[in-house]
Structure 1
Amino acid sequence: MSSRVIAAAVVAALSLPLALPPGGPFAAAPAAAAPAERSDKAKPVRKKTTERPPGAPAAAKRSAAAVPAPVPVDVAGMRTAQTRLAVRLVEALQKETPEAANLVVSPGSLAMVATLIALGADAPLQAALARTLGFVDGGAAPAAAAPEKAAREAKSKKPRKGDKAAVAAAPPPVDFAAVRAIVAGVQADKGLAEVLAVADAIWIDPAMTPKPSVLAAVAAAGGEVFREPLGTPESLARINAWVGERTRGAIPAMLDRVPADPGLVAVNALYFKDRWRTAFAPGRTRPAPFTRADGSTVEVPLMMGTIEAVPMRSDDSFVAIELGYATPRFGLVLLGSKDKPLPASGFAPVADWLSGRDFAAATVDVALPRLALAERAALLPALDALGLKAGRTSPTALDGFGPGQRIAEVIQKTVLKIDEAGTEAAAATAVTTVRSALRSQNSRAVFDKPFWFALRDRDTGVVLLAGYVGDPGRAV
C-alpha cells in the first residue's frame, strides 16, 4: 500500500519551431550571449533531497521567517478563471477523443507555462493567451476580450478623490503578473516544498536571437534558461531528465520527440504530494462495481470512510464534497451524480460547483475509488478552439524569443494517485464498520459512477489538477 494519499505531477511543454536564418540550416548561428542566460550549454540536473522519507510527517513545521508574505492575488477571480478553463479544456478534449474514459488537465501548469511564453509575446498573442486562459479583471469580464470596453468601465468605476476605502477594496487583476506572483510565492515558501513544487524552464536553440531583456525577465520570474542545439537525442534526454527531477520521478519522460527545426521548448513542471486530513481506513476498502457512462460496469477498489466537517453541496441530482489535506490550503473537490451515470458534458449545469463555493460543513460517509491515472494530452487544438489561434499565427507573435517563431505543440502529461493514507491522528477516527456507515444518519457521497474532480489551492485560486473520471478500471 502506498503511503501517500495523493501525488499529482504535471508537465506542460510548448515547442516553437525554429525560423531558419538567411543562408539555410547550415548558416552560422548568431553570436549572442545574453547576461540572463544560465550557460552556453545545458547544466546537468542536480539531485534534490526534498522527498519525504517513509513515515515522516506530511508537512514540517514552518518558522515565521520561512513563510513569505501573502500573494497579492484576487483569489476568487483566479478560482473562477481556473475552474472555467478546466471545464472548457476537458469538454474540448472529450469532443476530440470521445472514446477517452478519463480526461485530466492542469489549468495551473498551463497558466504557468503560458505566462512564461507571454514574456516574449507581442500584444496580440498576449491578449489571445489571456483570453484563452480566462483571465479576468477584478473578477469581471475577461480583460483581454475587449480592452476598450474594459478601459471605459475601469475609468467609470474610478473612486472619487480621497475615497481610500474604494481603492483598498479593488482586487488586483487576474493576469500574467498574478500568476508570476503565485509562482514566486510557492518557490519562496520553503515550508511548502515537501507538498507543492513548481518549476519553469526554457531551452533555446543557439540559432535563435532572443532579446536579452526577455531572457532577463524569464530569469527574474524564476525560470531556468538553457542554450543548446535542440532536436538532438542529447537535448531530448536533458529535457526529460529535468522534468523527471522536478516531478520527483513521477513523470520520467515528458517528450518522446522534439519537432523538426525547434527554436524553443518551454516547460512547466508541477508536483503535489500530501496526506488526507482524515484518512480512509485500508481495512474498509473493498471491491465494488463502478457504473460507466454507457451503463456497463467494472470492479474497482472502493475506499470508504466517515469524515467530519466536510464541505458539501447537493441537490436532487448531484453531490459535491471537498476533502481536506494535512496542509489546510489544499483541497480536492469531487462532483458526482446521484442516480444515473453521466458523460462529462452531463455535469454542465453544476460545473461551477468545482470551485467549492456555497458548500456547507457536514459529516459524510464517503465512498471513493482508489485511483492511479497517467494521461497525456495534446492541448493545442483545444486551445485554438478557445481563442489562441488568432494570436499565435502572427509572424511577430514571439519575436521576443527570436523572429519567425510560432507555437507548434502544447503537450501536457499528468499523473494522479489517490489511496487511503492519512495522518496518524486522523486514521483512527475514520475507522468504522461498513454496517454502521450504511445505517448512520450522515450525509452520503458515493462516487461509484463517473465523476469530476478539482485539486485546488485555496490560498491562490489555482487549480493544480482537474478532470473527469469515467472508468477507474482503466487506471495504470
Structure 2
Amino acid sequence: MKKQLLSRMSLVLGSIVIILLAGSLIQQPKEVKANLNNNSFTKQKPNNMNDQLVQANTDFGFKLFSQIFAKNAEKNIFVSPSSVAIALQMTYNGASGSTQQAMAQTLQLQGMSLAEINQSQLALMESLTKIDPKVRLDIANSLWLKQGFPFKPEFLQTTEKYYQAKATNLDFNNPNSVKIINDWVSQNTNSKIPTIIDSIDRSAVLFLINAIYFKGNWQKEFSKSATQEKPFTLLNGTRKQHPLMSQTGKYRYYENAQFQAISLPYGSGRLSMFVFLPKPNVKLTDFSRSLTAENWQQWMKQFSSREGEIVLPRFKLEYDITLNEALQALGMGVAFQNQANFSNMTSKEVQIDEVKHKTFVEVNEEGTEAAAVTSVGVRVASVPINPPFKMVVDRPFFCAIRDNQTGTILFMGSIVDPK
C-alpha cells in the first residue's frame, strides 16, 4: 500500500555514546540505569548472554567499517560499531517481514530469535557497565515520542525492559523539543556530542537515542616528560611535527609481515586499546583489506607478553557521518524504501529516513576519551622468547577499543592525521 506523505514518520536513534577519559568520575546522568560498581574483573561470561550476539556485532562492525573506509580512506575515521549495532537492534524490534529479514542479514543476526537478541543485549550491557574503579562505562537509552502518535505498547515495553529506554512524550511542534533531546545527548556524552538533531520535521514522530559514556585511565600512564615533538608521516608522504608519547615495559604484542600490533590496557585490563601499525611497505588501504572479523579473531589469539617500547601520538578528533549508503550496501535497502515493514512498531507504514553517527575521541598520556552518537530516522513512505620490540606509531594506523571479557569492540578507527 502506497504511503501518504502527510502521515510520514521519522524515528531517530542516537546510538551508544562511549567516552574514555582520564581523571575523576563525573556525576551519573539520571536516565542511566546501568551503573559502574566496584566488582573485580572476572573471566566469567555474563548470564543470559549469547556469544553469537557478540560475534554478530563484531561481523557487522568490520563490514560497516569496510564500507566507510572504502570511500573515506584519506580521512580520519572513528566509529562505534557497538553504538550503531545497539541502535539498530532496538529498531529491529519494530521490524517485520522482509524488512526484519534484511536487517537480520545486515546485523548478522540470522539464527537468533528476537528474545535471544534482546536478552543477550541486556546481559551484555549490564556486564559492560561493571568494569573497575579506574574505568567507567555508562549506557543510556531513551525514546522521545510525538504526542498522539500510535506506537504499539509491546514495542515500547520491549525497549524499556531490555534496553532500559525511558520514553518521554513531547510536543514536536514546540521548538524547545530540539533542545530537550539535545540536552539529553549532551548530558550522556559529557558534553562531547552536544547535538544530534538540528530541527524536527513535521513528519517526525519518534527519536530513539542510545548513549554510552566511558572513562578510564591507562593501566600504565605515559609520562608527560617523555612526550616529544617528532615527525608524523601523512598519507601523501609529507611529515609534520606532532607530540609522540612513549613508554617501555611488558605488553601483549603481535607482529607479522603486514603489521605490528599492541594492546594497551585500561584499569584492571578488562578493556584495552589495540593499535595496529602497518609495516613501512604496507599501505593502510592494503591493511584494511585484511581487516575482517575472521582475521580479527585469529589475531586476538596471537598476542603474547613481550618486552618493548611503544611510541604513540596524542590524537583528538570529531567524526560525523550519515550511514544510509553504507547500510544499504550491506543489505538493509528495503528498510529505507516505501515497502519497508515496521508493523511491530506502529500500525502506520514507515521507513528509515536517515542514520547519522557522530563520534569524539581524544588520546593523551592519562587515557582516552571518546564519544559516539548514532541517529536513525524513520518515515512513512512516500609466547616464545623474543628480543624487545620497538613500535613507533609515526604514520597512519588503525586502532580499536575492545572489552577483553566479552570480545565486544566499542570503537574502531583509522587515524591518518592525529592533529
SS where residue 411 of structure 1 aligns? strand
- Structure-2 change in CA distance of 1:94 and 1:316 (3 Å): closer
- Structure-2 change in CA distance of 1:206 and 1:61 (3 Å): closer
Q: Hey, which of these two has a bigger chunk of strand by percent?
A: 2
Following the alignment from structure 1 to structure 2, what is the Cα–Cα distance between the partners of residues 311 and 190? Answer: 20
SS where residue 400 of structure 1 aligns? coil
SS where residue 53 of structure 1 aligns? coil
Aligned to 1:72: 48
Deviation, 1:18, is: 9.7
SS where residue 125 of structure 1 aligns? helix
Following the alignment from structure 1 to structure 2, what is the Cα–Cα distance between the partners of residues 216 and 91? Answer: 35
Deviation, 1:79, is: 4.9
Q: What pairs with 1:1-150 in structure 2 (closer than 5 Å)?
A: 20-21=6-7, 53=24, 62=38, 70-75=46-51, 77-97=52-72, 99=74, 101-135=75-109, 142-143=110-111
SS where residue 316 of structure 1 aligns? coil
CA RMSD of aligned residues (A): 3.4
After superposition, what is the alpha-carbon deviation per residue over 1:404-442, rounded to whole angstroms, capped at 9, x for unaligned? 2111111111111111126xxxxxxxxxxxxxxxxx951
Tell me if structure 1 keeps the 8 A contact 2:309–2:388. Answer: yes
Tell me if structure 2 keeps the 8 A contact 1:452–1:469. Answer: yes
Following the alignment from structure 2 to structure 1, what is the Cα–Cα distance between the partners of residues 25 and 138? Answer: 19
Deviation, 1:299, is: 1.9
Structure 2: gaps spanning 5 or more residues:
10-21, 27-34, 368-385
Tell me if structure 2 keeps the 8 A contact 1:291–1:341. Answer: no
Following the alignment from structure 1 to structure 2, what is the Cα–Cα distance between the partners of residues 18 and 177? Answer: 36
Following the alignment from structure 2 to structure 1, what is the Cα–Cα distance between the partners of residues 263 and 157? Answer: 40
Following the alignment from structure 2 to structure 1, what is the Cα–Cα distance between the partners of residues 307 and 217? Answer: 19
- Structure-2 change in CA distance of 1:382 and 1:350 (3 Å): closer
Kindly indicate whether residue 325 of structure 2 is the aligned counterpart of residue 381 of structure 1: yes
Q: TM-score, normalised by structure 2?
A: 0.79
Following the alignment from structure 1 to structure 2, what is the Cα–Cα distance between the partners of residues 117 and 318? Answer: 38
Deviation, 1:276, is: 0.8
After superposition, what is the alpha-carbon deviation per residue over 1:80-137, rounded to whole angstroms, capped at 9, x for unaligned? 43343333223322334455x20111111111111211222214333222221233xx
Letter in 1 for 2:337: T
Number of corresponding residues:
372
Deviation, 1:327, is: 3.4
- Structure-2 change in CA distance of 1:410 and 1:396 (3 Å): closer
Following the alignment from structure 1 to structure 2, what is the Cα–Cα distance between the partners of residues 319 and 470? Answer: 16
- Structure-2 change in CA distance of 1:398 and 1:366 (3 Å): same
Aligned to 1:427: none
Tell me if structure 1 keeps the 8 A contact 2:37–2:131. Answer: no
Deviation, 1:370, is: 0.4
Tell me if structure 2 keeps the 8 A contact 1:334–1:453. Answer: yes
- Structure-2 change in CA distance of 1:78 and 1:61 (3 Å): closer
Structure 1: gaps spanning 5 or more residues:
1-16, 26-50, 136-141, 148-172, 423-439
Letter in 2 for 1:304: S
Following the alignment from structure 1 to structure 2, what is the Cα–Cα distance between the partners of residues 251 and 18? Answer: 34
Kindly indicate whether residue 222 of structure 2 is the aligned counterpart of residue 251 of structure 1: no
Q: What pairs with 1:12-411 in structure 2 (closer than 5 Å)?
A: 20-21=6-7, 53=24, 62=38, 70-75=46-51, 77-97=52-72, 99=74, 101-135=75-109, 142-143=110-111, 175-186=117-128, 189=130, 195-221=136-162, 222-230=164-172, 232-308=174-250, 310-340=251-281, 342-349=283-290, 351-352=292-293, 354-355=296-297, 356-393=300-337, 395=339, 397-402=341-346, 403-411=348-356
Aligned to 1:455: 401
